[in-house]
Amino acid sequence: MKMVRFDDLHLFARTAALGSFSQAAREADLLPGQVAAAVARLERELDLRLFARTTRSLRLTAEGALYLPYAQDVLATLREGQARVQGEDAELRGTLQVAAPSDLGRNVLLPWLTAFRAAHPKLRLHLQLSDQVTNVFRDPVDIAFRLGRLDDASHVALPLLEDNRRVLVAAPSYLQRHGTPASLEALKEHACVLFQLGGRTYDRWGFDVEGRQVVVSVRGHLECDDADVVRRWVVAGEGITYKSWLDVREDVLAGRLQVLLGGAGQQLPLNLVCPHRKQFSPAVRQLHAQLVQHLQPLLSGLPGHAG
């Protein structure tokens, strides 16, 4: 068998993840024909048909699906080997691709990520901000910030802030006009500003109350798929919302928002996630260590937090 080219192996793995020669080419700054040629070359060298091609679709063959995890393991092992040879103290270089929710990334993480990049001049930072949940297996990211419990055991996570939680907040101007809800049930009588994700409106808010979960159905006339816009509407006095403490902390401390019902809420831990432990490169590990130091003090001011 001929020697497999690692670039071809990488392009095969990315094409399989993205389901398209064109998207893989765009990501690698190549022409679609170059990616198709690389995959064809790999198929010849392996004497396997990796993709079933039609004019409208591209899908893995049974052999391709069987081969893919081995290709991914080889690529991950190469990355890990390079990182270990360079060592933790080596100068960070290459591209670090990071995905984060819009509000958290823009208003909390951005200055720290910028400073981290500045401290490592040969490192290139690619930041994706979106409230759509990043698929760390498909999307071209090394690491993603994820709020909430991780139900998918296939993810590998580095904890950042376990004790973060959601809290109910409203602007003083709204509370002056409409009063302050005295109970969770009273939320049903208030204008709530709602978040939408993947076409689904989150109008059933869950709370941890004395060891059990209470769900309250709420309604409102404003909703958005951008969490930062939801926060801005609430600061402007348009209603009540239920958001991560990290997103509203600055507004609460500045008096623009008020936490309701004694900080009633639900745990919302913050983690760094990736699909494979071998992707915890020196850059990822150093970024994680710095962010833990930055984030822990932000729990001060959270009602009921003992730290």
For the chain, give the longest Cα–Cα distance: 76
* pLDDT tens-digit readout, 58-96: 888 888 888 888 887 787 777 666 666 555 545 677 888
pLDDT digits (tens, 9 = 90+) for 257-289: 999 998 889 999 999 887 665 556 788 888 999
Q: Is it true that 6-86 and 94-164+269-299 share their CATH fold? A: no
Q: Where are the beta strands (DSSP E) in the chain?
A: 51-53, 58-60, 94-100, 123-129, 143-147, 156-161, 166-170, 191-197, 200-201, 204-209, 212-217, 219-224, 240-244, 258-259, 270-274
* CA proximity to 273, closest of 160, 156, 139: 156
Least confident segment among 20-34, 216-230, 249-263:
20-34
Contacts of 93 (CB under 8 A, 6+ apart): 120, 122, 123
What CATH number was assigned to the domain covering residues 6-86? 1.10.10.10
Residue 32 has pLDDT above 70, yes or no: yes
Better-predicted residue by pLDDT, 244 or 131: 244
What per-residue confidence (pLDDT) applies to 72?
79
pLDDT in tens, 166-199: 999 999 999 999 999 999 999 999 999 999 987 8
CATH of 166-263, one of 2.40.30.10, 3.30.70.20, 3.40.190.290, 3.40.1010.20: 3.40.190.290
Out of 26-30, 124-128, 246-250, pick the least confident: 26-30
- Could you tell me the residue ranges of all domains in the chain? 6-86, 94-164+269-299, 166-263
Thinking of the domain 94-164+269-299, which architecture would CATH place it in? 3-Layer(aba) Sandwich (3.40)
